[in-house]
Structure 1
Amino acid sequence: MDERLHIFGIRHHGPGSAALLVRALDAVEPACVLIEGPPEADELIRFAQLPGMKPPLALLVHAASDANAAFFFPQAEFSPEWQAMLWALRRDVPARFIDWPAGIHIHALIAQKNDPEEMQVEHDPDPLDALAAAAGYGDGEAFWNSLIEQGRLEEDSAATAGEQALQVFAGIEAAMTAVRAAAPEERSERGGMRESQREAWMRIHIRQALKEHSGKIAAVVGAWHTSALRTGATASGDKALVKELTRAKVEATWVPWTDSRLGAASGYGAGVISPGWYSHLWSLYERRASTTPEEFAAQWQAKTAGMLRKEGYLTPTASAIEAARLSLALASMRERRVPALEEMREAALATLCHGDEVPLRIIERKLYVGERVGEIDSAVPQMPLARDLALWQKKTRLKPEDVETEQRVDLRSEAGLLKSTLLHRLLILKVPWGKLVEADAGRGTFREVWRLRWAPELSVALAEALVYGGTIEQAAGNAQLDRAAKSNSISELAEMVRETLVADLPDAATACIERLQAAAVQAAEITELMLAVPPLVRVLRYGTARKLPEEQLRALVHALSVEVNAGVRLASHNLDDEAATARVQAMQSYDEALRLFADSTLIEQWQNHLSGTVDDPQVSAAIAGLSLRRLHEFGTWAGEEVESAFSRHVIGETPQRAGAFLENFLRGGSEVLLHDEPLLNLIDAWLCGLEEQDFIESLPLLRRSFAEFDIVARRHVMQRITHGRREQAQLTQSEGAADDAFALALPLLCQILGIDVQEGAA
């Protein structure tokens, strides 16, 4: 390669690397800056210096035909590539990306969906581990951090800083050349070929830049690639190597990134251990003045102490001073010039937290990782949905954050209704910025509680939703219409109606209601019809906060309920276990919804048909059990009728059928046993009358039946049974005699109820 070429081998996110790079560029003054990155994003470099661009950010590149086939190119303020962009823009020097086209990578991502072998992820060993071992470090990460990322803090000669930086980069290149030459060939043939093709693309870009510019050329690439870019590969050989590569058509834009996604713990391959630590290091490098180890340690420990104070912990200044001294002492013992994160943490734990890990864990995310979400300048061209979302965020004053926050929304206020509308529309678009954890609670029906957390992947979801429209409102409405047209499920359509109404999409809601009405006419599955009623009833509770087609909704709920009531008995004949379980769950939801709907005629019809299911011997035992429980709770049947029906369904029946009946009869709580002593005694007598084998077969169902009872309820049930047994014993036996059979059964009964024997005998 031409001697005008200066190759700077960097770590992709390293404050020391970034500081060295800026000084090296100042010394070289290149006519063009080449940066490892996707060339399709060249036009986006010019926006990096805008005042509204606040890292962490990322270049999002995705297939034009499939936004889900995408990848990110993250940038922090301490990323060398970001600083290279800013340096070139400040000096009006051309800058461009030289990695292989993103379209090649995107094409490979699409191919992975159809080729399982392509999905295999290769994990390469750190090439610096060998050097680290020779230098006495535990791994390559610690070695590079000590020498490069924080090893330059003590530099104090501004006049020679550029020359020193060039010498360091020359040393990095020599070391990486030696490491690469000695590295064993552990990569697969496919992985090695991809690396060769990437580096061929870089050399092609470099040759092109050398032709276009008469001055020096700076190439900013990962340190591993430095030696490969200086090889004697020919231009024709490189072109032949990449000739057959297939590209996908792609689009690129800037999107916000987060501190947590810069961390290695997020799974990001080029992630760093502690973005918060590196951000602190970069703030010191930006001053362009030397920093003594003492000053460095004091600043970090003061920051740690300040965060602990905000969490309510007592951290005197004297303790922060001791923490700084201890970190310096630990670094000296380990032969390090400057304390690393390891020494800083150990010192803080010992002096500020007195050995207690809990306080440090409370602040470690904010301190070691960071909680920032990047911001994009308004002048940057963004995807239409991203631009519309930014406007919504300003209008609703909802700021994207990298931590989970709780947002309580009052639907009676205009601001609260706007927030709720936005978040519901995003859910329809499968952009789950917010998760609804509570609704229809608190003060009447006017409150929603959301948990919000922004993640970079939501930008990809927004890109995917572009096929439905250019605004959040338009896209959400069209997305729901598309799903409704493809669905034949009554319950799904009912849920879509609810979603469109609470998202304030009246046109889409009307279309979904019509689709639901058409599907309901053809529906024959009672479970589906039952599941359709609860979401419609729930949405009616928003009537005082949102404008809804209430009359149309009520007519729809009434029609569905009439169908359910009329068909529930016959549709419950001879169901298998899976179908019976689904029906019981649907019945519970439907029963609760019917009470909320408060139509007395429908409720009376429902109770009459439940009576029919209890008396019908062909009805599934599980459904009969739940039906009897509801009739008992409603007070529709007198106690004697309930006890008689219970006897018919458990006494003389198989353990499986009797157990299924009992499980669903007890579903919903212990009140039925605590307040109905004859019924409790009936269950007790049935249990005691079971043969040993029948009891063993019934035991799993029995334990499941009592699983919903809390420990207090179980204890009260046991006390009632014990009290009743003692009274019976006193009536039937002589004074002082004991019921031996009950005494023998008591431990097992306590075990079924999940309480101690001593408590049961109390």
Structure 2
Amino acid sequence: MTSPLLLGVRHHGPGSARAVRAALEAARPAAVLIEGPPEGDALLTLAADAQMRPPVALLAHAVDDPGRAAFWPLAEFSPEWVAIRWALDHGAAVRFIDLPAAHSLALTEETDPEPEGADDEARDVRVDPIGVLAQTAGYDDPERWWEDVVELRGSNPAPSTAASPRTLSGVSSDGSSSAVPGRPTAARSGPARPGDPGAEVAGDPDPFAPFLALGEAMAALRETYGHGGHDRDLVREAHMRLRLRAAVKEFGDGVAVVCGAWHVPALEARTTVAADKALLKGLPRVKTEMTWVPWTHRRLARRSGYGAGIDSPGWYAHLFGAPERPVERWMTKVAGLFRDEDRMVSSAHVIEAVRLAETLAAMRGRPLAGLTETVDAIRAVMCDGSDVPLGLVRDRLVIGDVLGEVPDAAPAVPLQRDLTRQQRSLRLKPEALERELELDLRKETDAAKSRLLHRLRLLAVGWGEPVGGRGSTGTFRESWRLRWEPELFVKVAEAGVWGTTVISAATAKAQSQAVSATALGQVTGLAEQCLLAELPEALPVVMRALADRAALDADVSHLAQAFPALARSLRYGDVRATDTAALAEVAVGLAERICVGLPPACVGLDADGAAEMRGHLDGVHSAVGLLPDPEGVAERWRSVLHKLAGRDSVPGVIRGRAARLLLDEGWLGEEEAARLMALALSPGAEPSDAAAWIEGFVGGASGGGLLLVHDERLLGLVDSWLTGVPAGAFTDVLPLLRRTFSAYEPGVRRTLGELVRRGPGAGGGAAPADTAVPGFGPDLDTARADAVLPVLRLLLGIDDNDLTGVAR
């Protein structure tokens, strides 16, 4: 082989990966250099560990600012990963040669280098080399062109088309298309040999030919477009050349380089050591740490490091793992997926889908059915022309949720190690696929899982999100939605500044937040989090901050906003057997201040202020029911609601809401509720204020629609008021009324319409048959009631006498 051997690739390409493996087998280099951060050299031996399973990524982060991080993902079908494994398996030296992460993490848009001689006009051009080559070859889709000339090679015999546009084409210096110089076109006209991993072009057994062709094509592109507008590329390539010179000096001719094809002409360029060092002079740097972390197929689309933005990692993994008959194997996978989802898919469907995909490929002049053809065939044969099932195929197979694994020996911050230990002890394995987790807090293991997830949420490590489940918040049940994302490793590294274990880090962060919090609501929410996460050492600090903020805050809306979290915290404490005596004392004091300050705070509010205060009213009312009542808080709160319901200076929406809360609790009789409504809807009341009262009384999710359905007297008051609103005022109140009644369920709205049409509160005899509403007649229809008895007898398995007794 010549020195050095430059293997230009496309990141995350299975065809490139197979070609790299074939070229390395043929050349047998003593050293393999790979585009990547040199700080990762010490971690390369871990790639041979039995626990290492791609996709994985190199993670580099700044020591002083862990949020400043970058990933270099590698999949099983990445050429770089194949090169690493080949070197480790064959005893060759393997090293990274790209710009160090210490520099790349320190560089920002403001500090990016602008090397001398860089053309300002060229710097503004962003070249997509694959797109240009595809357009030159007559393709309108770069991905399809790359699949045809690279990814689909060596799988099935390709059609013999000497003049096919799929021939790997270059671009001459004047921009015209031409066959790759030095490679006769006719030599590529024969069929590819099945399973030949080195045949980049059909019929060409030379394992180095594809890299020669790509290198010449990229050289022509760079001659036309310059370096493509990426000034940092010039700096990176200067560093690569320096590392390459050092390797050649050490290993002689036995050096191979695996890098992006765009960089090959730059590595072939003749430059001086002094010129390359000058480009690197003065670069900023930060202290960094690096490790391996698991990655996912879904995250391979992320543009970071090797994240080249591929759209179909699952499909590429299939092409790499199944070089023989890939279309047939793919259709079998799809059929298995559909069968698991209870869709009827037979072997005949698979056969017909394969035939259709191959026919489409032949009609479109492609060497083999690609992803587009297989998707079209699946849609037509297995999905009956529907795109809905295809969403499942794309999510589960084309993209996939494969999560890699890294060995325990990989470096990690102490917090990550503690988290990993707890995940294993609790059997709470990180998974890329989203899943629901139901916890019973009466069980110690489930309670420990809950504590861990709440502590991670406090540390901003969003592995789990609480969701509504069978139990409401504050009961002994919790429901979580879990999904592990690779970025969470960065979050864990960031959280490592607070401590070396999850509990110590969460405690330190909670204490810091309590001291720095300026709003009462922030501290009450923090107290709730501390109880959920069971942080006994943080709770005293939080409680002192809570008492201080509560004593200084005189704004009733702030107190009302903070109070519900305290009440919930008391209930959480009961579930977790936590001592909440200090919290209860603060909560009762807060409730007292709300009861004193709320009535005057509700006077003179505008529409927006009244709507906000109504929300606070609901929150406080719900929270009062959760408090222990040694001081009679509930009785004082009832008095506050009576004051609000009967004070004319309070906005209508608050008066209506207070009346409704009193009615629901049984603190207000039906006669009194009707009297308050009649006063609010009297002719002397402003229509807008009356409409606001109605919204407060029957609006929102308070079941007001059912209240009107069952109490025709209240419905009659609303109906009579509405029909008496003057025409000029009606247009003003209509939006408010529409917002109120549109929130009802469709069935409730329909029933109300029937009642209004019949005439609510009409009484008397039975309504006409064509207007009666089922279930709301004036008298019991015994004949209709008896009609259900045979069905009940059959369901319950009892005789007529027993059933009659049950019915009575």
TM-score bin (small chain): 0.7 to 0.9
Judge conservation of contact 2:571–2:626 (CA < 8 Å) in 1: no
1:318 and 2:360 matched: no
Worse-matched range after superposition: 84-93 or 583-592:
84-93
Judge conservation of contact 1:176–1:226 (CA < 8 Å) in 2: yes
1:685 and 2:720 matched: yes
Judge conservation of contact 2:19–2:198 (CA < 8 Å) in 1: no
Question: Given the alignment, which residue of 617, 635, 638 partners 1:607?
Answer: 638
Question: Given the alignment, which residue of 361, 372, 377 partners 2:391?
Answer: 361
Question: Given the alignment, which residue of 146, 149, 154 partners 1:147?
Answer: 149
Q: Structure 2: how far apart are the matches of 1:324 and 1:632?
A: 68
Q: Structure 2: how far apart are the matches of 1:729 and 1:694?
A: 34
SS in 1 for 2:292: strand
Q: CA deviation at 1:442?
A: 7.3
Q: Structure 1: how far apart are the matches of 2:553 and 2:654?
A: 21
- 1:510-563 C-alpha deviation (Å, 9 max, x unpaired): 321222122212221222222223223223334454231133333332222122
Q: Which residue of 1 aligns with 2:692?
A: 660
| Higher percent of residues as helix | 1
Q: Which residue of 1 aligns with 2:26?
A: 27
SS in 1 for 2:406: coil
- 1:411-440 C-alpha deviation (Å, 9 max, x unpaired): 122221122111111111111111110267
1:585 and 2:611 matched: no
- 1:367-409 C-alpha deviation (Å, 9 max, x unpaired): 1111111111111111222222221221122222222211111
Question: Given the alignment, which residue of 301, 317, 320 partners 1:282?
Answer: 320
Identity of aligned residues (%): 38
Judge conservation of contact 2:73–2:306 (CA < 8 Å) in 1: no
Q: CA deviation at 1:585?
A: 0.8
Q: CA deviation at 1:267?
A: 13
Judge conservation of contact 1:261–1:268 (CA < 8 Å) in 2: no
Question: Given the alignment, which residue of 206, 212, 224 partners 1:182?
Answer: 224
Judge conservation of contact 1:265–1:273 (CA < 8 Å) in 2: no
Taking a change above 3 Å as real, the CA distance of residues 725 and 27 of structure 1, as seen in their structure-2 partners, is closer
Matched AA of 1:348: I
Matched AA of 1:93: A
For residues 262-277 of structure 1, the aligned pairs below 5 Å read 262-263=300-301, 270-277=308-315
Alignment TM-score, normalising by the size of structure 1: 0.87
Q: Structure 2: how far apart are the matches of 1:283 and 1:357?
A: 27
- 1:576-623 C-alpha deviation (Å, 9 max, x unpaired): 333322221111011012123363821111011121223333333332
Q: Structure 1: how far apart are the matches of 2:719 and 2:383?
A: 57
Judge conservation of contact 2:681–2:690 (CA < 8 Å) in 1: yes
- 1:340-382 C-alpha deviation (Å, 9 max, x unpaired): 1222222233333343333333233111111111111111111
Matched AA of 1:18: A
Taking a change above 3 Å as real, the CA distance of residues 503 and 35 of structure 1, as seen in their structure-2 partners, is same
SS in 1 for 2:689: helix
Alignment TM-score, normalising by the size of structure 2: 0.82
SS in 2 for 1:706: helix
Question: Given the alignment, which residue of 659, 664, 675 partners 1:633?
Answer: 664
Q: Which residue of 2 aligns with 1:170?
A: 212
Judge conservation of contact 1:61–1:250 (CA < 8 Å) in 2: yes
Q: Structure 2: how far apart are the matches of 1:330 and 1:155?
A: 22
Q: Structure 2: how far apart are the matches of 1:249 and 1:344?
A: 48
Q: CA deviation at 1:131?
A: 2.8
Q: CA deviation at 1:167?
A: 2.0
SS in 1 for 2:367: coil
Judge conservation of contact 1:106–1:248 (CA < 8 Å) in 2: yes
Q: Which residue of 1 aligns with 2:506?
A: 476
For residues 431-510 of structure 1, the aligned pairs below 5 Å read 431-438=461-468, 441=471, 445-510=475-540
Q: Structure 1: how far apart are the matches of 2:111 and 2:506?
A: 29
Q: Structure 2: how far apart are the matches of 1:89 and 1:266?
A: 25
Q: Which residue of 1 aligns with 2:67?
A: 68
Q: Which residue of 1 aligns with 2:741?
A: 706
Q: CA deviation at 1:266?
A: 11
Matched AA of 1:243: K
Q: CA deviation at 1:184?
A: 7.4
Judge conservation of contact 1:61–1:70 (CA < 8 Å) in 2: yes
Q: CA deviation at 1:495?
A: 1.4
Judge conservation of contact 1:408–1:448 (CA < 8 Å) in 2: yes
Q: Structure 1: how far apart are the matches of 2:486 and 2:761?
A: 67
Question: Given the alignment, which residue of 225, 234, 251 partners 2:272?
Answer: 234
1:334 and 2:364 matched: yes
Taking a change above 3 Å as real, the CA distance of residues 726 and 86 of structure 1, as seen in their structure-2 partners, is closer
SS in 2 for 1:506: coil
Which structure 2 residue ranges, 5 or more long, are not aligned? Answer: 113-122, 156-191, 766-808
For residues 506-585 of structure 1, the aligned pairs below 5 Å read 506-543=536-573, 545-585=575-615
Taking a change above 3 Å as real, the CA distance of residues 366 and 159 of structure 1, as seen in their structure-2 partners, is closer
Q: CA deviation at 1:237?
A: 1.6
For residues 295-444 of structure 1, the aligned pairs below 5 Å read 295-438=325-468, 441=471
Q: Which residue of 1 aligns with 2:649?
A: 618
Judge conservation of contact 2:152–2:367 (CA < 8 Å) in 1: no
Q: CA deviation at 1:54?
A: 1.0
Q: CA deviation at 1:40?
A: 2.5
Q: Structure 2: how far apart are the matches of 1:157 and 1:575?
A: 78
Matched AA of 1:627: A
Taking a change above 3 Å as real, the CA distance of residues 70 and 495 of structure 1, as seen in their structure-2 partners, is same
Q: Structure 1: how far apart are the matches of 2:671 and 2:382?
A: 70
Matched AA of 2:21: V
Q: CA deviation at 1:158?
A: 7.6
Judge conservation of contact 1:127–1:180 (CA < 8 Å) in 2: no
- 1:19-57 C-alpha deviation (Å, 9 max, x unpaired): 111221222222222111122222222211111111111
Question: Given the alignment, which residue of 220, 245, 261 partners 1:223?
Answer: 261
Q: Which residue of 1 aligns with 2:77?
A: 78
Matched AA of 2:480: W
Q: Structure 1: how far apart are the matches of 2:306 and 2:645?
A: 59
Taking a change above 3 Å as real, the CA distance of residues 112 and 533 of structure 1, as seen in their structure-2 partners, is farther
Q: Structure 1: how far apart are the matches of 2:365 and 2:747?
A: 61
Worse-matched range after superposition: 259-268 or 628-637:
259-268
Q: Structure 2: how far apart are the matches of 1:227 and 1:443?
A: 62
Judge conservation of contact 2:645–2:656 (CA < 8 Å) in 1: yes
Judge conservation of contact 1:59–1:73 (CA < 8 Å) in 2: yes
Judge conservation of contact 1:56–1:76 (CA < 8 Å) in 2: yes
Aligned residues: CA RMSD: 3.0
Taking a change above 3 Å as real, the CA distance of residues 55 and 267 of structure 1, as seen in their structure-2 partners, is closer
Taking a change above 3 Å as real, the CA distance of residues 332 and 267 of structure 1, as seen in their structure-2 partners, is farther
Taking a change above 3 Å as real, the CA distance of residues 380 and 202 of structure 1, as seen in their structure-2 partners, is same
Matched AA of 1:495: G
Worse-matched range after superposition: 139-148 or 154-163:
154-163
Matched AA of 1:128: I
Q: Structure 2: how far apart are the matches of 1:641 and 1:267?
A: 71
Taking a change above 3 Å as real, the CA distance of residues 540 and 485 of structure 1, as seen in their structure-2 partners, is same
How many residues are paired up? 711
Judge conservation of contact 1:58–1:256 (CA < 8 Å) in 2: yes
SS in 1 for 2:310: coil
Q: Which residue of 2 aligns with 1:199?
A: 237
SS in 2 for 1:398: coil
Q: Which residue of 1 aligns with 2:776?
A: none
